[in-house]
């Protein structure tokens, strides 16, 4: 007696169909074997499935049971195979009719009493099911909203194994989960924080607006308590709104990582990730025997905030250079190589010196120049090459803290940034893979960042008098192009260039005198 049930599993951030085959033989001694490269979680399903079938009122067969997970050359992991294995065994014994088993995907972890528990990676599995022409999917009720984001496939959220048996035998009809995706998407575009909460720091807020408008990475330098973290947490609220394709891609990554709450079907706001400085390179980039997404991928289409940047291990910061450049992370292992998207904006923050008070007029700095130099040298030049804007964040004076007037709201700033992005999309419409000013290379800089005679003299003077590094030249041109876009100007003017020059404080190293 044998049966075949359709299920699915994740490879990277995409899914593939898995056929769960169950074979029962009474000619051999009773035994339960799972083949097809199962990991430990899949092997342990034997105990969960055995208890769930018995506790749901069905007789567990006294036979030699072989479970095969095909294709057999890809390692299967996770607890989502519990339900299809249980249904496969029940179908092989005749308890479940086979009529619908070729048309539906079954997913779910089983509790010992037969109830279903939520699983990871539902959205990419549902997308895969639709593309393979499968008509429906049965899964835990907690995952139903996430699966219903995909149009054109029937989604049934169930609570117990016995409910699944009743549905497959035609004894129970359940209403398919429905979701108005566009309406839901618009409703979920709400942030819990806003830029109006920030008192003072107008220059820093302006720098972050420029960053958002042009896709420029930013590093903020200031003493403790000056508001760097508060500003960073509000930065996603001024980025252009996610479009639906970006939201689906973001949700897929969050789903694979198991970070989507049960009540949320689609991520509609830009992700914000803030790992601690003790994180490993595998935690930041991704890793594992079967590679999992790291923080740079979880921040895809959003913001990666690295607070206390010099405190991160140097090798951790260096491995971030490639995803900053390419927008993708490739993780290779002996048996598999996977790529994860990692197109994010980097917001970094640091103190100006080890004690933190080198630029604070209210506190005395206890560091000597050698200590400051060692502290700064923890950040490599190649990493700084990928950060366009350096902005100082001074301590906020009491008068500004006590000011009861709210600052400018995020949606107004976001509107200006969106307008500037539209200008850039039109500018780069004929250049594949280029969407923002921050992505410009030398050819584009020559074409789109031409300077008049007055501006050229200004930039030359700044390079010489302020001791700006050579790497600052291209960054200043990129940022000044964005400032001109925010002003609606076709040409870069001297005032745009002057503002961009201010955003290179690490090159000038003001606190070293």
Lowest-pLDDT range of 61-75, 176-190, 226-240, 442-456: 176-190
- Cβ-proximal residues to 373 (8 Å cutoff; 6+ apart), any chain: 512
Which is it for strands 345-350 and 218-221: parallel, antiparallel or unpaired? parallel
Task: Categorize the per-residue pLDDT at 510 as very low, low, confident or very high, splitting at 50, 70 and 90.
Answer: very low
Domain boundary among 113, 148, 179: 179
321 in the same domain as 215: yes
202 in the same domain as 174: no
In-domain check, residue 309: yes
In-domain check, residue 184: no
The domain tally of the chain equals 2
Residue 508, pLDDT score: 56
Q: Which helix (H) or strand (E) holds 243?
A: none
Q: Are 504 and 473 in contact (CB under 8 A)?
A: no
Task: Categorize the per-residue pLDDT at 512 as very low, low, confident or very high, splitting at 50, 70 and 90.
Answer: very low
As a whole number of angstroms, the distance between CA 82 and CA 193 comes to 40
As a whole number of angstroms, the distance between CA 348 and CA 424 comes to 25
111 in the same domain as 243: no
In-domain check, residue 103: yes
216 in the same domain as 118: no
Mean pLDDT of the chain: 90
444 in the same domain as 313: yes
Residue 222, pLDDT score: 92
**Whole-prediction pTM:** 0.90
Q: For residue 283, how many C-alpha atoms fall within 13 Å in the half-sphere facing its CB?
A: 11
Q: Are 68 and 35 in contact (CB under 8 A)?
A: yes
Full residue range of the structural domain in which residue 163 is found = 2-179
Q: Are 266 and 127 in contact (CB under 8 A)?
A: no
Residue 513, pLDDT above cutoff 50:
no
314 in the same domain as 362: yes
- Cβ-proximal residues to 202 (8 Å cutoff; 6+ apart), any chain: none
In-domain check, residue 25: yes
Domain boundary among 123, 149, 179: 179
Q: What is the CATH number of the domain that holds 62?
A: 3.30.230.10
The C-alpha R_g of the chain, in whole angstroms, comes to: 28
Domain boundary among 121, 147, 179: 179
Residue 399, pLDDT score: 66
Lowest-pLDDT range of 237-241, 378-382, 503-507: 503-507
In-domain check, residue 186: no
399 in the same domain as 502: yes
* Crossing angle between the packed helical segments 202-214 and 410-427, to the nearest 10 degrees: 40
426 in the same domain as 302: yes
> Does residue 18 come out as left (phi exceeding 0), alpha (psi in the -120 to 50 range) or beta?
beta
As a whole number of angstroms, the distance between CA 367 and CA 388 comes to 27
Is the Cα torsion angle 195, 199, 202, 208 positive or negative in sign?
negative
First to last CA, the chain: 83
Is the Cα torsion angle 88, 90, 94, 96 positive or negative in sign?
negative
Q: Are 250 and 302 in contact (CB under 8 A)?
A: yes
Residue 403, pLDDT above cutoff 80:
no
Residue 404, pLDDT above cutoff 80:
no
In-domain check, residue 188: no
Q: Which of 197-201, 231-235, 369-373 has the highest mean pLDDT?
A: 231-235
201 in the same domain as 166: no
Q: Are 179 and 148 in contact (CB under 8 A)?
A: yes
As a whole number of angstroms, the distance between CA 421 and CA 456 comes to 26
Q: What is the CATH number of the domain that holds 469?
A: 3.40.50.300
In-domain check, residue 105: yes
User: Model confidence over 102-122: pLDDT tens digits?
Assistant: 999 999 999 999 999 999 999
As a whole number of angstroms, the distance between CA 10 and CA 124 comes to 8
Lowest-pLDDT range of 224-228, 257-261, 304-308, 468-472: 468-472
320 in the same domain as 404: yes
In-domain check, residue 189: no
258 in the same domain as 149: no
User: Model confidence over 261-304: pLDDT tens digits?
Assistant: 877 778 999 999 999 999 999 999 988 777 889 999 999 999 99
118 in the same domain as 211: no
């Amino acid at each position: 007696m044998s049966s075949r049930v359709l299920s699915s599993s994740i490879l990277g951030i995409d899914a593939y169909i898995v056929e769960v085959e169950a074979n029962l033989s009474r000619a051999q001694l009773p035994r339960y074997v799972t083949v097809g490269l199962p990991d430990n979680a899949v092997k342990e399903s034997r105990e969960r499935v055995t208890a769930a079938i018995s506790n749901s009122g069905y007789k567990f067969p006294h036979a030699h049971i072989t479970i095969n997970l095909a294709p057999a050359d890809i390692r299967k992991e996770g607890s989502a195979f519990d339900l299809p294995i249980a249904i496969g065994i029940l179908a092989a014994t005749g308890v479940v009719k086979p009529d619908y088993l070729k048309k539906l995907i079954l997913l779910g972890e089983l509790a010992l009493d037969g109830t279903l528990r939520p699983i990871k990676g539902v959205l990419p599995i549902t997308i895969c099911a639709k593309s393979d022409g499968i008509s429906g999917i049965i899964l835990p009720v907690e995952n139903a909203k996430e699966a219903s984001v995909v149009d054109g496939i029937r989604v049934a959220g169930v609570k117990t194994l016995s409910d699944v048996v009743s549905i497959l035998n035609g004894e129970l009809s359940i209403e398919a989960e429905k979701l108005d995706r566009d309406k839901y998407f618009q409703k979920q575009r709400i942030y819990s924080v806003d830029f109006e909460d920030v008192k003072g720091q107008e220059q820093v807020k302006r720098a972050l607006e420029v960053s958002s408008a042009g896709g420029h990475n930013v590093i903020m330098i200031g003493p403790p308590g000056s508001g760097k973290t508060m500003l960073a947490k509000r930065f996603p609220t001024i980025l252009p709104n996610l479009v639906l394709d970006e939201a689906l891609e973001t949700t897929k990554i969050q789903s694979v990582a198991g970070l989507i709450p049960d009540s949320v079907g689609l991520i509609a706001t830009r992700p914000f990730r803030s790992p601690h400085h003790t994180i490993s390179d595998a935690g930041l980039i991704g890793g594992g025997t079967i590679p999992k997404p790291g923080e740079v991928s979880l921040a895809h289409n959003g913001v990666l905030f690295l607070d206390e940047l010099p405190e991160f291990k140097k090798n951790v910061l260096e491995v971030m250079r490639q995803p900053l450049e390419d927008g993708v992370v490739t993780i290779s292992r002996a048996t598999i190589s996977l790529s994860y998207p990692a197109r994010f904006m980097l917001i970094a923050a640091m103190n100006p010196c080890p004690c933190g008070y080198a630029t604070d007029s209210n506190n005395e700095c206890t560091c000597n120049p050698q200590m400051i130099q060692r502290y700064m040298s923890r950040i490599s030049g190649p990493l700084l090459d990928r950060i366009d804007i350096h902005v100082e964040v001074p301590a906020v004076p009491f008068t500004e803290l006590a000011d009861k007037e709210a600052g400018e709201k995020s949606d107004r700033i976001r509107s200006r940034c969106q307008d500037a992005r539209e200008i850039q999309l039109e500018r780069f419409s004929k250049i594949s893979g280029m969407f923002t000013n921050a992505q410009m290379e030398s050819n584009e800089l020559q074409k789109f960042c031409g300077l008049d005679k007055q501006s050229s003299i200004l930039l030359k003077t700044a390079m010489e008098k302020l001791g700006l590094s050579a790497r600052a030249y291209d960054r200043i041109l990129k940022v000044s192009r964005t400032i001109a876009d925010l002003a609606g100007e076709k040409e870069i003017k001297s005032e745009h260039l002057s503002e961009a020059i201010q955003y290179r404080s690490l090159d000038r190293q003001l606190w070293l005198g």
